[in-house]
Amino acid sequence: MRTILLPTTLDERVDLPAGWRSLPYDPALPLPTEGQDAEVLVVWGNRRAALADAAERLGDLRWVACLAAGTDAIDDAGFDPGVLVTSGRGLHDGPVTEHALALVLACARRLPDLVRAQDERRWAGELGGVQPVHDTQVRTLAGAHVVVWGFGSIAARLAPLLVALGASVTGVATSAGERHGFPVVTPDELGTVLPSADVLIGILPATPQTRHAIGAPVLAQLPQRAFVVNVGRGSTLDETALLDAVR
Can you state the angle between helices 111-119 and 93-108, rounded to 10 degrees? 70
**Domain boundaries 93-111+136-246, corresponding CATH code:** 3.40.50.720
Q: Which pTM value belongs to this model?
A: 0.87
As a whole number of angstroms, the distance between CA 212 and CA 237 comes to 5
Extents of the domains making up the chain: 2-86, 93-111+136-246
**Does domain 2-86 match CATH 3.30.930.10?**
no
As a whole number of angstroms, the distance between CA 69 and CA 230 comes to 15
pLDDT in tens, the chain (247 residues): 899 999 999 988 889 999 999 999 999 888 888 889 999 999 999 999 999 999 999 999 999 999 998 898 999 999 999 999 999 989 999 999 999 999 999 999 999 999 999 999 999 888 888 777 666 889 999 999 999 999 999 999 999 999 999 999 999 999 999 999 999 999 999 999 999 999 999 999 988 999 999 999 999 999 999 999 999 999 999 999 999 999 9
Whether 93-111+136-246 and 2-86 are alike in CATH topology: the answer is yes
Is residue 210 within 8 A of residue 236, CB to CB? The reply is yes
DSSP designation for 32: P
